[in-house]
Each structure stands twice: as C-alpha cells, then as structure tokens.
Amino acid sequence: MTTRTSSASRQDTRPVATSSSSWIPLLAVVIGLAAAIIILPAWMPNITASLLGADAKFYWYLSRATAFVGYGLLWLSMSMGIMITNKMARVWPGGPTAAALHQHTSLLGLGFGLVHGLLLIGDQYINFNLAQVLTPFSTASYLPQWVGLGQLAFYTWAVVVFSYYIRNQIGCKTWRSIHFASYLVFALTLLHGIFSGTDTGKIWVTGMYWFSGSMILFLTFYRILYSINKARQAAQPE
Ligand code: HEM
C-alpha cells in the first residue's frame, strides 16, 4: 500500500545532521592523515623521500611537468591566434572554436607557467626563494640568464593576456601592438626551455621543440604572405 507523505513529514524522516555525525568525516580525514604519516614512510620509502626527504624531488618533477603543459598550451594558443589572422582556422578547426581555444589556452598556460615557477621554491637542489622566482635574472644558484628569459616571458605573457580585458579602454590600436608581443613570449619561452631545461637532450623533448617552433614559424610566414597579398589586392584598381 502506498501512502502519500506531505513535504513536512518527508522532511521529518530526513536524517538529521547531529553534531556527532558531522564530526565523522573530519575524524576520518584526521585518522587517514595520521595513518599516512605513520605508515607511508615504512610502506613506500621512495615516495616519502621524494616528497619530504633531504633530497626531495617531488617539486622538481612537478615543476618540469607543469612547464611542459604550460609550453604546450602557449604553443596551442599561438597557433590558434595566427590561424585566425591568416584565415587558416576557417578550414580547421573553425573560427569560433579557434577563438575560444586561443583565449582559454592562453589563460590556462599562464597559470601553469606561474605554478611551474612557484613549485621550484620547494626544490632544495635549485634553492630559489619567492623573491628570486619573481625577479628576472636573479636566480644566482641556477642559470640566471636563461631562467630570466622564462621570467620575462611570464610577465610579458601576463601583459598580453590582461590587455585583452581592457582593450576598450586602451583602444584597438594599442591592444594590437601589445598583442604582437606574444611572438616574443613564444621565442623567449622556447629559448628558456631549451637552455635551462634538464630534459632538452631527450629525443621527445628535442622533437617537441623542433615541431612546435617550426610550426609557429611556418604559420607566421603564411600570415605575412596573406597580409601582403591582401594589401596588394586592396591597392589594385577596381
Ligand atoms: C616565473 C618564471 C619562471 C621561472 C622562475 C622558471 C624557471 C625554470 C627553471 C629553473 C627551469 C629548469 C628546470 C630543470 O629542468 O631543472 C625551467 C625549465 C623550463 N621552463 Fe621555466 N621558468 C619560468 C617561466 C616559464 C614559463 C612561463 C614557461 C612556459 C610555459 C616555462 C617553461 C619551461 C620549460 C618548457 C622548461 C624545460 C623543462 C625541462 O626541460 O625539464 N617556464 N624553468
């Protein structure tokens, strides 16, 4: 037999979160953390050493991983941006998709670039502090000139990204001039990655730099030819 219950009586049957039941998840987290702290070092000494030991490599690994993700996003954003201007995006992946990718990958890549830099503070070998990470060419303990190019790239990239959001205030002409600095961002990041990275010698990393670099070069070349052609057509009498 089914009986209809009013919303009031349904509410009455709902489990009431008592003060003791709301402590249970918290207690579980505390017990879990305590167990991890006690058990993990004995169970998985390598992982513990990587996270907390005197020779902790966790931050360094994560910094390198986020560096490559950031670089990939920068490359994708640049490719989409140039393909919008030289109209290749109409063929693939379509104008609106290219525009959305261009905008979002740029923001995301900037975030990854920042996380990549900040993570290095946790690496005891490289021994950077926050001020060094944020100040270009100040990392005396590790390749300051090449790390500096990455820091410059980061700040220039931030200016390019945020100028988009104030383009109505600064005007289209100024915004476009600032936007051209994205070529500099890519060049600086490429040099930074090649000359300060530990992984440059690996075949897949070398291949990635060659592929991404030559693709941006090709797209830029095509963009210049497209602009010249368009200007010629505009100059021709009807
Ligand atoms: C705050 C600014 C930055 C600092 C302090 C910084 C620092 C460093 C350092 C110290 C390395 C060498 C790590 C190693 O392999 O041992 C490195 C590598 C690298 N960085 Fe940056 N960087 C910055 C910005 C950027 C940005 C914005 C990007 C692009 C998204 C980037 C991409 C890379 C790449 C691809 C590598 C090569 C990683 C490898 O070969 O393992 N960096 N960076």
String of DSSP letters for 74-100: HHHHHHHHHHHHTTGGGTTT-HHHHHH
Asked if 73 and 98 touch (Cβ cutoff 8 Å), the reply is no
DSSP state letter for 180: T
Do 12 and 118 fall within a single domain?
Answer: no
Do 29 and 112 fall within a single domain?
Answer: no
Domain residues for the domain of 74 are: 56-235
Residue 82 CA to ligand 1 center (angstroms) comes to: 24
Structural domain count, the chain: 2
Predicted TM-score (pTM) of this structure? 0.82
Ligand 1 atom closest to 205 (CA): 40
The set of residues, in sequence order, having a beta carbon less than 8 Å from that of 110 and lying 6+ positions away, is 70, 154, 157, 158, 161
Task: Give the three-state DSSP class for 199.
Answer: coil
For 186-196, the pLDDT digits (tens) are: 999 999 999 99
Do 227 and 198 fall within a single domain?
Answer: yes
For 93-150, the pLDDT digits (tens) are: 999 999 999 999 999 999 999 999 999 999 989 999 999 999 999 999 999 999 999 9
Ligand 1 atom closest to 194 (CA): 37
